[in-house]
Amino acid sequence: MSKRIALVTGASKGIGKAVALSLAAAGHHVVLAARQVDKLEELASAIREAGGEASVLALDLGDTAAIDGKIKGLLATVGQVDVLVNNAGITKDMLAMRMKAADWEEVIRVNLTGAFLTTQAVMQSMIRNRWGRIINISSVVAQTGNAGQANYVASKAGMIGLTKTLALELASRNITVNAVAPGFIETDMTAVLNDQIKEKLLGLIPAKRFGSVDDIANTVTFLAGDGASYITGQVISVNGGMAM
């Protein structure tokens, strides 16, 4: 069987990069998508040097009008997408009282609408082949809420609703759709937190540590495989017990 092709958005760093490396190590041809093409090229080179296969796709999920054309161009090149990991996301934090409408709309557009349009663009390929894995990266805050993140939380909670609906629509075509909800993971996004906030957060995590990007990547790689064929419409929480 030829290698399955996995498209990972937001693959230039953090969770997306770790997911791409894990999927490549598991034998997938990984299409690395993000805005920072130079970082994607570096990652693609590292994957190839390790014996894997990787391609690069310049993709800005904030430019929703361009997504369909970008994915169609990709499909014309690689033929199909078997695994989609909707990971790309941004934050524009502010208390709801002071949040600008533009910041609300941008976060929803990138995190939620971008994921929907990317999924819509690859769906036909999966339906035609009667096999697919769609994995949406949500967040623990989608389940708990988080002060100062109304836009981000709404986008990530929306991904859970999208996951469940798509799972219902696609299950009969042998396509599974699941969400992974990371807790606090050591990435660039969490590195900006000061020590006081980090100590407070650690107090909320029974495992007494922040997660690693590999904790998320391992879960995604499992969901992308044949061994997860009877799991669909689920939210897999990877949070050290922070929310149960």
Mean pLDDT of 87-91: 96
Q: Which CATH number fits the domain that encloses residue 234?
A: 3.40.50.720
Would you state the pLDDT for residue 59?
Answer: 98
Asked whether residue 139 is domain-assigned, the answer is: yes
Asked whether residue 60 is domain-assigned, the answer is: yes
| Structural domain span for residue 200 | 5-238
State yes or no: is 152 an active-site residue: yes
Selected catalytic residue, list 152, 221, 238, 242: 152
Asked whether residue 243 is domain-assigned, the answer is: no
pTM attached to this predicted model: 0.96
Asked whether residue 114 is domain-assigned, the answer is: yes
Asked whether residue 244 is domain-assigned, the answer is: no
Total number of domains in the chain: 1
Q: Which residue has the tokens 């929306």?
A: 158
Angle at 104 (CA atoms; ends 146, 204), nearest 5 degrees: 10
pLDDT digits (tens, 9 = 90+) for 183-242: 999 987 677 888 898 898 899 999 999 999 999 999 999 999 999 999 999 999 999 999
Mean pLDDT of 70-85: 97
Would you state the pLDDT for residue 150?
Answer: 98
- Closest by CA to 148, choosing from 221, 98, 195, is 98
DSSP state, residue 238: E
